[in-house]
Amino acid sequence: MNIEQARFNMIEQQIRPWNVLAQDVLDLLTVVKREEFVPGAYRNLAFFDTEIPLPGGEVMLEPKIEARILQEANVKKHEYVLEIGAGSGYMAALLAHKARHVTTVEISPELKSLAERNLADYGVANVDVQLGNGAQGWSVDGKAGEYDVIVISGSLPFLPEAFAKQLKLGGRLLAIVGTDPVMQLQLVTRTSEQTFETVNVVDTLAKPLHAATTPSHFTF
């Protein structure tokens, strides 16, 4: 397989048609080598339009979903990012190239180790991989409004209230919300202390985030 040709085809045939047109995002997809974050047994699927299996029954999102999330998050160099669901570490690596610092939370010890190893091998130094259940949000020091961007790398039936409190003013949250067969990638922006703007970006499907069940929810 010609890896660079496969990467080019992925970008042109999968990602651009999904309305990912920001040049900085497209460029980043050639800089951060996706195949380096894919388990060896599935490396030949690194550029396919499909979820890729990870240990413990988890998956990497499809490339077009990863790219669209990255575009809509519009991360800036001074910003602090929270990711829920580290997986293989690939999304954290993408975010880290655009952010000041990324905290990524993984509930599986095996995947935490995998993400840490992949990020270290790739030389990504501004990512902190935490072990824990981030399905209800994640606070390092207990403060409200800690993060400029929150990315949830798995679907949720609805958005827990905790995530709203952890966004800074002007902060953005990207999450795939809903239940199969109806889910949408949503962009939520905190517009004031009490108000949020929600945009349904695109219809899609994704495996539910581990432990993402709760009776309480927040209407943005």
Residue 214, pLDDT > 70, answer no
Give the model's pLDDT for residue 143: 64
Give the model's pLDDT for residue 215: 44
pLDDT band at 211 (very low <50, low <70, confident <90, very high): confident
* Domains in the chain: ranges and CATH: 3-203 (3.40.50.150)
Residue 87, pLDDT > 80, answer yes
- Mean of all residue pLDDT scores within the chain: 93
Q: What pTM was computed for the model?
A: 0.93
pLDDT band at 141 (very low <50, low <70, confident <90, very high): low
CA distances (Å), origin 135, targets 32, 104, 151, 213: 27, 12, 11, 8
Q: Which residue has the tokens 């581990």?
A: 210
Instruction: Tell me the per-residue pLDDT of 92-124, one tens digit each, with 9 for 90 and over.
Output: 999 999 999 999 999 999 999 999 999 999 999
Contact 190, 167 (CB under 8 A): yes
Mean local confidence (pLDDT), 34-40: 96
Give the model's pLDDT for residue 110: 97
- Strand-pairing partners, residue 187, are 174, 199
CA distance linking residue 32 with residue 94, whole number of Å: 7
Contact 66, 90 (CB under 8 A): yes
